[in-house]
């Protein structure tokens, strides 16, 4: 725990009298906490509270919270119910557009539609020789029954095409097959317009060799029987309006992801991937933060607490939110993202899988050195003042081989030019395994990390200046920002989305 203990006197020299009064009432419980540094209600964030929440979120009953699943929906409703009880505002689906049966919980959920095509049968013939689905090829991009017949062509070395005159009826790829999301679902709005992209056939070695040996112009016949299934998943969004009539139009986002991997391949007889650390820990810490902010004095700027879904499938929820935002993106000053903040390396641990796991008073911080020196200064000033966690910048770059910068939801905020900090404890022996369970969490560490995020958030939401993005950014981030801008233009033309409701 922190060492710095400043006298009460600091209160009267400082900026936030209300904060000091709240502290004066609360300080006997934890005299180490200085509200000017830690924020006025940091003591509301406790390891005991988080233990109670995380044992629910990572229980077998929620079956690993896969996107989409009943377990994930249940976790989302649990959060929505808690957030409503805290008196926070919903920041999700527009009023009247959510599920009316969810009553006061509906406004906290931001739904996004999912679709998957189910191919029941497919047959491909090349000059009369038949090839079978599964053993010889796989196919994507077909959502209904289809028949195509035409000639073989080779637009490139790795790609063959089924052509009818100048029309491409299907593309046939050799080499590696794409790995579909576990559930087979995709976010509907991220898919290309129906008919704009031809079906994609992925040929196994046998079919590819036969195609290579065939003459261009050989006849290919493709028959597919398919149907489409629909589902949905949801981000959970709660808003605490700021107290300042001007600054309340700016938002601090604090995020985590609620989903995990669901039920999968058993390890030691256990098939449920509970995801206690990944990212039950961040989701739990985020609820503790929302509770501390909601039951203490509000900061001057507004705060949006966002639990994303579909992170494990490809950062879906954060991509959806940043492409179809309910909060105007230019008003978002920073995203503080917590993904895995509950594990620590035990003393004497020599397990190679834990080699990069952080210790009990240490956490990786990723983002400030990539893109915002301003944010780094604020983070360091707050951390130096109170908890004094070891802030490890090992992954704070875009060129690390593990690509950690790209691997959680903060990335989609960074691509919008928003300064970010990603708090991460490091990969460990139970990462993406059924053994990621709540009894293995270091709840004291979670408390310290969550209180540090609370304190950094308190500073960001109150201080005069807003962190700026550095003038010089790494090329991969600039590329991602360009893509994100193009996507907004394309989305606006295609979906005519309503403007964000929160400004």
Residues at the site binding Zn ion, with contacts judged by CB under 5 A: 278-279, 339
Cα separation values, 140 from 49, 183, 226, 232, 395, Å: 46, 14, 10, 20, 35
138 vs 318, which CB is nearer to Zn ion? 318
Q: Give, to the nearest 10 degrees, the angle between helix 282-295 and helix 443-462.
A: 50
Q: Give min distance, CB of 400 to Zn ion, in A.
A: 17
Give the residue with the Cβ less far from Zn ion, 161 or 338.
338
CA 88 – CA 304 distance, rounded (Å): 10
* HSE of 153, CA atoms in CB hemisphere, 13 A: 15
Q: In 10 A of CB 60, how many CB atoms?
A: 14
CB of 288 to Zn ion, least distance (A): 18
Q: How far is the CB of 38 from Zn ion (least distance, A)?
A: 26
For the bound state, the minimum distance from the C-beta of residue 54 to Zn ion, rounded and expressed in Å, comes to 14
Kindly state the smallest distance separating residue 315's Cβ from Zn ion, in Å: 10
Give the residue with the Cβ less far from Zn ion, 82 or 255: 255
Whether 334 contacts 460, CB under 8 Å: yes
CB of 172 to Zn ion, least distance (A): 35
Residue 387 or 411 with smaller CB distance to Zn ion: 411
Which residue, 234 or 279, is less far from Zn ion as judged by CB? 279
- Give the pairing of strands 186-187 and 270-273: unpaired
Q: Which residue's structure tokens are 């009267």?
A: 12
- How is the chain split among helix, strand and coil, in percent rounded to 5? 35, 25, 40
Smallest gap, in angstroms, from Cβ of residue 409 to Zn ion? 9
User: Could you tell me the smallest distance in angstroms from the CB atom of residue 281 to Zn ion?
Assistant: 9
Cβ proximity to Zn ion: between 43 and 258 the closer is 258
Helix axes 443-462, 373-385, angle to 10 degrees: 120
At how many degrees (to 10) do helices 47-57 and 70-85 cross? Answer: 150
- Burial string for 75-99 (b: 16+ CB within 10 Å, else e) reads bbbbbbebbbebebbbbbbeeeebe
User: Could you please report the per-residue DSSP string of 178-216?
Assistant: P---TT--EEGGGSPPTTTS--EEEE-HHHHHHHHHSPT
The least distance separating Zn ion from the CB of residue 111, rounded to whole angstroms, comes to 21
Looking up tokens 């938002």, which residue turns up? 251
CB closer to Zn ion out of 93 and 396: 396
d(CA 280, CA 295): 22
Q: What is the chain's alpha carbon radius of gyration, rounded to the nearest angstrom?
A: 25
Compare residues 345 and 410 and give the one whose CB is closer to Zn ion. Answer: 410
Tell me the helices (H) and strands (E) count for the chain, helix number first. Answer: 14, 18
Nearest distance from C-beta of residue 317 to Zn ion, angstroms: 12
Pick between residue 318 and residue 372 the one whose CB is nearest to Zn ion.
318
Q: Between 248 and 260, name the residue whose CB sits nearer to Zn ion.
A: 260
Give the burial class of 336: count Cβ atoms within 10 A of its Cβ; 0-12 exposed, 13-18 middle, 19 or more buried: buried
């Amino acid at each position: 725990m922190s060492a710095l203990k400043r006298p009460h006197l600091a209160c009267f020299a400082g900026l936030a009298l209300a904060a000091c009064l709240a502290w004066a009432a609360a300080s006997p419980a934890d005299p180490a906490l200085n509200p000017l540094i830690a924020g006025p209600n940091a003591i509301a964030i406790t390891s005991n509270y988080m233990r109670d929440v995380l044992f629910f979120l990572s229980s077998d009953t929620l079956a690993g919270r896969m996107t989409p699943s009943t377990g994930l929906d249940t976790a989302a409703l649990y959060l929505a119910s808690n957030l409503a009880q805290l008196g926070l505002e919903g920041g999700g689906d527009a009023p009247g557009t959510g599920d009316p049966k969810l009553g006061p919980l509906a406004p906290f959920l931001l739904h996004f539609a999912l679709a998957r095509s189910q191919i029941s049968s497919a047959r491909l013939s090349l000059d009369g020789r038949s090839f079978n689905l599964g053993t010889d090829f796989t196919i994507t991009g077909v959502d209904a029954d289809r028949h195509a017949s035409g000639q073989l062509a080779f637009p490139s070395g790795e790609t063959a095409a089924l052509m009818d005159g100048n029309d491409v009826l299907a593309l046939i790829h050799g080499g590696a097959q794409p790995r579909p999301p576990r559930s087979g679902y995709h976010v509907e709005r991220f898919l290309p317009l129906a008919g704009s992209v031809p079906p994609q056939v992925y040929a196994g070695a046998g079919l590819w060799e036969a195609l290579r040996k065939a003459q261009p112009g050989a006849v290919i016949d493709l028959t597919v029987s398919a149907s489409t299934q629909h589902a949905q998943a949801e981000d959970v969004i709660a808003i605490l309006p700021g107290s300042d009539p001007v600054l309340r139009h700016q938002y601090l986002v604090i995020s985590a992801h609620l989903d995990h991997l669901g039920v999968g391949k058993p390890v030691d007889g256990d098939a449920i991937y509970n995801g206690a650390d990944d990212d039950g820990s961040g989701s739990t810490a985020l609820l503790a933060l929302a509770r501390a902010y909601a039951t203490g004095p509000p900061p001057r700027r507004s705060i949006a607490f966002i639990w994303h879904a579909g992170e494990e499938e490809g950062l879906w929820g954060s991509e959806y939110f940043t492409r179809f935002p309910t909060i105007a993106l230019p008003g978002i000053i920073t995203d503080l993202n917590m993904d895995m903040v509950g594990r620590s390396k035990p003393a004497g641990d020599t397990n190679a899988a834990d080699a990069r796991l952080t210790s009990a008073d240490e956490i990786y911080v990723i983002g400030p050195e990539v893109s915002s020196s301003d944010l780094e200064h604020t983070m360091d000033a707050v951390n130096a003042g109170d908890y004094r966690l070891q802030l490890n910048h090992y992954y704070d770059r875009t060129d690390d081989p593990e690509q950690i910068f790209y691997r959680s939801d903060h990335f989609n905020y960074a691509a919008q030019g928003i300064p970010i900090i990603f708090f991460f404890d490091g990969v460990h022996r139970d990462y993406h395994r059924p053994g990621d369970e709540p009894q293995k969490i270091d709840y004291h560490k979670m408390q310290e990390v969550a209180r540090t995020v609370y304190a950094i958030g308190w500073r960001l939401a109150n201080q005069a200046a807003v962190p700026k993005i550095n003038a010089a950014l790494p090329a991969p981030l600039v590329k991602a920002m360009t893509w994100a801008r193009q996507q907004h233009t394309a989305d606006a033309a295609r979906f005519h989305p309503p403007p964000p409701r929160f400004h």
